A and B are shown apart, each in its own frame.
Chain A
Amino acid sequence: MTKLLMVEYEKCVGCGTCEIACSIGHEGAINPAQSRIGIVKWGMPGEGIPVTCAHCEEAPCQAICPVNAISRKDSSGVSIEYDRCIGCRMCLAVCPFGAISFDSIGKRVTKCDLCDGDPLCARFCVYGALQYADPREHGAMKRRQAAARLGTATGAATW
């Protein structure tokens, strides 16, 4: 199983570093508006919800693309082949997360491509809200953490 971008929403403090890292990684320039990941905030400091591509198994963007420009690759997940893309924005319309954007500077649709296997957003997220990990291992780790809390709370485990 390949690694994926795992998001731990409660850890995000909304510092914005991931957006900057993403834009410089993909565009060579800093511009959060061109980032493939967006932190949505409601105004209370310390709260942010990072929204980006989930690389769905049954990806609506892939299904709707009329020219088969979206496909799944090992290192970049569900990604766009720009030499096929006609810029119709159908993928943008069907993505349930709004994780596909239309970049008004580059005049093209953009989405997370996992930085081809080394996502900069995760590298720069010191809070651990974004982690590039194997989903199975990540799930196991979270289960261990939950079990530790349960064990302590119920007195079922002593360590």
Chain B
Amino acid sequence: MSFGWTGDILRVDLSSKRSWTEPTEPYTRSFIGGRGINVKIVYDEVGDTVTPYDPENRICFGPGPLTGTLAPCSGRMKVTAMAPNGLMASSGIGGFIGAKIRHAGYDNLVIQGKSDEPVYLYINDGSVEFRDASHLWGKDTQDTQQVIKEEVGNSVETMCVGRAGENLVSFACIVTGLGSAAGRGGFGAIMGSKNLKAVAVTGSRQIRVSNADQFVPACERAQKDIRELPAMQKTAKEGLGELYSVAAFYDAGQLTLGNWEVEDASWDEVGRFDGAEEFYKQYAGRQYGCFACPVDHYHVFHVPEIGTGTTKCTGWMSFAGNVWNNDRKLMFHANYLCNRYGLDVTATGVAISFLMELYHKGIITEKDTDGIPMRRGDEEAIITAVHEMGKLEGFGKLLRDGVWQAAKTIGKGAEECAMVVKGAELEPYEIRAFKSEALIAAIAAGTLAEGLSVEFAYLGDPASVGEWVEATYGSKEYAVPSVHEGKALIFYDYENRLMVADMLGLCHWIFPRRIPSFEIPAKLFSLATGRETSWEQLSFAAQRAKALERAFDVRRGITRADDTLPKRMFDTSVPGGRFDGERLDRQMFDKMLDEYYALRGWDEQGIPTEETFKRYGLTSEWRTLGEAIADKKKPAKEIVTDD
């Protein structure tokens, strides 16, 4: 009998329309669950000749052994696959879909193959139906979910792609509910490449818990602890802090101005980020949260001339300073459309800021963008661009394979303006000022989607975060954004914590962002599964999974030269705001990289060593990596470097 885990992984082959189960148990000792198991499956099963849209690519959905249980904040699931940029990526999704997969009796869901016709999956406990989706093709993410509900019943939770995913837009996302998305990574395009429109799930199977008598009070305690955090009490009252977030992010110096450009760039051109209260007063509806969340920090917005939708912090930021806009209604409108088309808000925002810079510099004119001048902050330019990308019409086609490919097509120096790392669009953070964010962006290829570094937490609450950083890492200074020292250590450790949360199925917003200690999750995991496991053991498993993630990318040709940022990040300084003039030093960056590699047990080229693999017990996995290194395989796909 399995405790904590349901015991089964559901495997689906869309080519043969076959489904079967595989026991979870062989994976759990080394990889725990969730993202850990996803990573192991992608590493083992996606070979070096497979391309992202190949039917042989796997798309893995990994709730964790705590997802769907009484543990607070256990509504999370991680999606992992070889992303459209040819590397392994993971993106989290909330709402209720992860819990439903678990309630249907599955720990993970792994989909391979490609259907000849548009199809959606309907999973109801042991029954897996491949249902025709031709009538859903072309429908947006909200209508799709509605139609599926009408077809199979009100109790399903659905995740689906919109037109962007169908059209293989490389930054298409997967959406569930009103606006929960596996946003980064381009997994909407992976689903689209498999002709998979949606996955609908309902379930009525049991998840057994090893020690219910202690698990219940431990969950209750954790729930109350989270609810009583001052930051959570604030969000319970006024939402995720979105109320002030764009302004707050500006004040914290996190917000980017334009395409991280500096030539004649001034915040004066954007204007002030006030007006949030007015927007909320006029349009905010109910607050809500994900499954088992003790804080309802999201808002539903009803804007009569646009529609009903939602947006969150990165969503607001993605259409703010970077596209020279301070109009909240316009920010909402762009988010609303992205959610409907199934576009990642972050990459969509970066694509628009890219076009705006090209227009401003005269590299493109309105002739290149269907007669719409891509003027900074222009409403028509922003909204038209989102429509064209979502529908794959007009100049939207140019951006189908992402900003980097678009830049190469345009030429004339456009490459310099492509703010991408390893083919993935950066997140709209002023990483020149935040040294650990810079490191995260360079290593995680812009797909990490955390934006939750210790530095951000520190600015929000210097006293208690500073104290924690001193106690954990040795010096308060390490939390200060402008300091390079200690950043590799903090990022390394924080990354392990994020991975543990992803393996268990817990929300990053709380673990580790609000509660950096993993004593509580380790305890809940031990009580649920009956395996007494310490935080250190969980962290060790996280390091093991990180080694495999990296090794997958190394097999595809990634080396140190790719762990870098667009040239501009080193050559220019922050143009105004709180960190005006702040620079990212290339030498210091290299030093951070060295430190980070050493902590991870990678050599100076960023390749995990045989010794490291042995330490994590990855003997058979070393064979595939060792062979790849010996073969000196060339990159499967062209990748971007800063030179």
Contact = CB atoms under 8 A, between A and B. Distances in A.
B216 A27 contact: no
Contacts of B154: 41-43
A46 B206 contact: no
Contacts of A28: 208-209, 212
A120 B216 CA distance: 9
Contacts of B215: 24
Contacts of A23: 206
Interface string A94-130: 0000000000110000000000000010011011000
B292 A16 contact: yes
Given A24-B212, A28-B212, A120-B216, A45 B300 contact: yes
Contacts of B298: 45-46
Interface stretch (A30-38, A49-57, A68-76, A148-156): A30-38
A24 B96 CA distance: 19
A14 interface: yes
B631 to A, nearest CB: 47
A60 interface: no
Nearest to A104: B204
Interface stretch (B282-290, B461-469, B529-537): B282-290
Nearest to A32: B103
A32 B201 CA distance: 14
Contacts of A16: 96, 99, 291-292
A15 B292 contact: yes
B286 A124 contact: no
A24 B99 contact: no
A10 B364 CA distance: 53
Contacts of B203: 33
Contact of A30 (B68, B146, B310): B68
B123 to A, nearest CB: 14
A33 B100 CA distance: 11
B222 to A, nearest CB: 11
B294 A126 contact: yes
Nearest to B68: A30
Given A28-B209, A29-B206, A29-B208, A46 B70 contact: no
Interface string B63-80: 000001110100000000
Contacts of A31: 103, 204-207
Interface string B304-341: 00001010000000000000000000000000000000
A13 interface: yes
B158 to A, nearest CB: 10
A20 B102 CA distance: 12
B48 interface: no
Contacts of A41: 154
Contacts of B300: 44-46
Interface residues of A, number: 32
A126 B224 CA distance: 8
The interface centre, meaning the residue of B70, B154, B290 with most chain A CB atoms within 10 A of its CB, is: B70
Contacts of A21: 70, 216
Contacts of A20: 68-70, 292
A16 B215 CA distance: 17
Contacts of B192: none
A120 B178 CA distance: 29
A124 B70 contact: yes
A9 to B, nearest CB: 12
B405 interface: no
Contact of B216 (A15, A25, A104): A25
B70 A30 contact: yes
Nearest to B179: A45
B177 interface: yes
B296 interface: yes
Given A15-B291, A16-B99, A45-B300, A27 B206 contact: yes
A46 B296 CA distance: 8
Contacts of B70: 17, 20-21, 24, 30, 124
B220 interface: yes
Given A14-B288, A16-B292, A45 B177 contact: yes
A104 B203 CA distance: 13
A139 B458 CA distance: 45
Contacts of B103: 30-33
A105 B203 CA distance: 13
B204 A33 contact: yes
Contacts of A42: 154
A13 B204 contact: no
B223 interface: yes
B227 interface: yes
A126 to B, nearest CB: 5
Nearest to B103: A32
Contact of B146 (A43, A46, A124): A43
Contacts of B290: 15
B209 A47 contact: no
Contact of B287 (A44, A46, A123): A46
Contacts of A15: 289-294, 296
Nearest to B125: A33
Contacts of B286: 13, 44-47
Contacts of B308: 44
The interface centre, meaning the residue of A32, A33, A41, A45 with most chain B CB atoms within 10 A of its CB, is: A45
A32 B310 CA distance: 27
A126 B204 contact: no
Contacts of A47: 286, 288
Interface in A1-20: 13-17, 20
B403 to A, nearest CB: 31
Contacts of A14: 288
25 contacts: A13-B288, A15-B292, A15-B294, A15-B296, A17-B292, A20-B68, A24-B70, A24-B209, A25-B216, A29-B208, A29-B212, A30-B69, A31-B103, A32-B204, A33-B204, A34-B204, A43-B145, A43-B149, A44-B178, A44-B308, A45-B288, A45-B300, A46-B298, A104-B204, A120-B216
Q: Which 5 A-B residue pairs are closest in the complex by CB-CB distance?
A: A46-B288, A33-B204, A46-B286, A29-B206, A45-B288
Given A17-B223, A105-B206, A126-B224, 18 more contacts: A13-B288, A15-B289, A15-B296, A16-B96, A16-B291, A17-B70, A17-B294, A24-B70, A27-B206, A30-B206, A30-B207, A31-B207, A32-B204, A33-B103, A33-B203, A42-B154, A44-B308, A47-B286
Interface of B: 68-70, 72, 96, 99, 103, 145-146, 149, 154, 177-178, 203-209, 212, 215-216, 219-220, 223-224, 227, 285-294, 296, 298, 300, 308, 310
